[in-house]
Structure 1
Amino acid sequence: MFCHHLKALCAILVTGAFSTHALAGEVNVAVAANFTAPLKAIAVAFEQDTGNTVVPSFGATGQLFAQINNGAPFEVFFSADDTTPAKLEQAGNSVAGSRFTYATGALVLWSAKPGYVDDQGAVLKKNEFKHLSMANPKAAPYGRAASETMDKLGLTDRLKGKIVEGQSITQALQFVSTGNAELGFVALSQVYKDGKITGGSAWLVPESYYQPIKQDALILKKGANNPAAKALTDYLKGPKAQAIIKSYGYKI
């Protein structure tokens, strides 16, 4: 009798384990480099709350776009702009109605050295540095915003010989962090946490100096039949994910 009950209990436990496993999914996500830290934090909370696992690939928006068009197995795309997802949508490479703005980013001129960058950005006009880092404007929306800022300040011609260009905003930050450039244009989210710049010195570039960095996400065609893809985009609109996004200096 005891053995019979034990077998029944084991059967229930095994069935339960398989059911839980069956509910958990995995989603392959292409993520614009500026959103690296927030996405990693959101992925942890998402897995805890839903059991689904996020498998991220980080890079410049233009590079990710090319990979998607070349058949990369991404199911959700978090872009650093709104125009690239719109192109995917128009080409029929996404789930209809899934595109939404998940964050609006900000550009900052940053140096790893405390006191090096003043809060008005006058350091640019003084032009006493050897190297200025930024992301490739053709591949990265934050690079484009940096280019627009220099145009606005009338400094493009004066500074072009000093620019060190990263293929993504992550690489642009690395140039400054490692001292290969004294300062650089990076995403605020890369150097900001819980209400303050986390180190060095910075100038928050006025929003009027560049086109708004509206960052859109969508479910790609490859994710159409994956419930975890829909679960992730829904989760991003929820209070827990939005609190994380705001903590990195983004506007919602």
Structure 2
Amino acid sequence: MNQKFGLNTLAVWGALALATQPARADEVLVAVAANFAVPLARIAEGFSTATGHTLKISSGSTGKFYSQIAAGAPFQVLIAADDETPAKLIAEGHAVAGSQFTYAIGRLVLWSPQPGLVDAQGLVLASGKFTHLAVANPKLAPYGRAGVEVLKARGLEAAVAPKLVTAESIAQAYQFVASGNAELGFVALSQVAPPGKPVAGSYWLVPQALYGEIRQDAVLLKPGEKQAAAAALLAYLKSAPAKAMIQAYGYGH
């Protein structure tokens, strides 16, 4: 009897242990806007711990991801840098209706690794004290579009145009500046102000009145429609730990 009771008890414990784990640990194919790649990598750690699932992350410009997804790329989740692209993918049948939501509001900065070059009002843009200004391609990257809007708002678009160095994505724009190929550039706050670290160099946090709101949305893509792990990722992005990490990187809600 004691042996039988012991075996039954172990069976119950085993069943309970299995019930606390995902039915199957899966890998989610995620396309993420370049500005959010580093925060997502941090969020992925908590997601894997909580669910057992892992992420395979590809980062780049939202516009380029749109073209790839429309052409049949097997991404299961898109974490975009705007809200227009997810909505367009839903309208065209490439994403799941009702799955789109805003996970962050992006913040634009003008940044240079050189201390003192960028002032707190962004007056350096009109000073002529630089040779190259990096900006992501405004046709592909919402942060690039926002940077051009700032130049227009300041009446500097024509004057600065000869100095513009256009990058494929916000990540490449950051690299142009960090490497010294451009003295300054429009990048995401999340790229220059990681949690717990001071900003290297100098920067201007651009007032949001100078550019359209960068509302960043996520959406479930059709290849992930029947995958529980993809749905779990979107749910986790709404969780308190994920929201805290997003806020720590300087994003608004």
Give me the TM-score of the superposition, normalised by structure 2: 0.91
Instruction: Specify the alignment match of 2:108 in structure 1.
Output: 107
Alpha-carbon distance in structure 2 between the residues aligned to 1:197 and 1:176: 18
What secondary structure sits across from 1:23 in the alignment? Answer: coil
> How many Å apart are 1:28 and its aligned residue?
0.4
Q: CA deviation at 1:93?
A: 1.5
How far apart, in 2, do the equivalents of 1:20 and 1:39 lie? 22
The aligned counterpart of 2:84 is 83
Match of 1:55 in 2: 56
Which residue matches 1:217?
A: 218
Deviation of residue 22 (structure 1)?
A: 4.7
The change in CA–CA distance for 1:195 and 1:122 in structure 2 (over 3 A counts) is: farther
Q: Is the aligned partner of 1:178 residue 2:179?
A: yes
Shift of 1:114: 1.2
Cα distance, 1:192 vs structure 2: 1.1
Which letter maps to 1:103? A
The count of residues paired between Structure 1 and Structure 2 equals: 247
- What SS class does the counterpart of residue 193 from structure 1 fall into? coil
Distance 1:123 1:235 in 2: 41
Other-structure match for 1:188: 189
Q: Is the 8 A contact 1:134 1:186 kept in 2?
A: yes
Q: Deviations over 1:66-117 (max 9, x none)?
A: 1101111100000100011110111121122100000000110000111111
Q: Distance in 2 between matches of 1:158 and 1:137?
A: 18
1:146 is matched with which residue? Answer: 147
Distance 2:23 2:85 in 1: 34
Decide whether the 8 Å contact of 2:63 with 2:139 is kept in 1: yes
1:193 corresponds to which letter in structure 2?
P
Cα–Cα, structure 1 residues 186 and 159, in superposed 2: closer, same or farther, change >3 Å? same
Q: Distance in 2 between matches of 1:113 and 1:97?
A: 45
User: Matches of 2:92 and 2:26 in 1, distance apart?
Assistant: 27
- Taking the aligned partners of 1:197 and 1:166, their CA distance within structure 2 comes to 25
Q: Residue by residue, what CA displacement relative to the aligned partner does 1:160-183 show, whole Å, maximum 9, x if unpaired?
A: 000111100000000000000000
Deviation of residue 23 (structure 1)?
A: 2.4
Q: Could you say which residue in structure 1 is the equivalent of 2:72?
A: 71
Residue 195 of structure 1, CA deviation: 6.6
Which residue number corresponds to residue 251 of structure 1? 252
Q: 2:185 & 2:104 partners in 1: Cα distance? A: 22
Secondary structure at 2:203 match in 1: strand
CA–CA distance in structure 1, aligned partners of residues 251 and 177 of structure 2: 22
Give the TM-score of the pair, scaled to structure 1. Answer: 0.91
Aligned to 1:231: 232
Q: Indicate if the aligned counterparts of 2:21 and 2:51 stay in contact, CA closer than 8 A.
A: no
Q: 2:47 — aligned with what?
A: 46
Unaligned 5+ runs, structure 1 = none
Q: Specify whether residues 59 and 201 from structure 1 end up closer, same or farther in structure 2 by C-alpha distance, changes over 3 A only.
A: same
Q: 1:195 to 1:155 in 2, by over 3 A?
A: farther
Q: Give aligned-pair identity as a percent.
A: 54
Q: 1:192–1:249: 8 Å Cα contact kept in structure 2?
A: yes
Is contact 1:109-1:205 (8 Å) kept?
yes
Distance 2:106 2:98 in 1: 23
1:26 Cα deviation after fit: 1.3
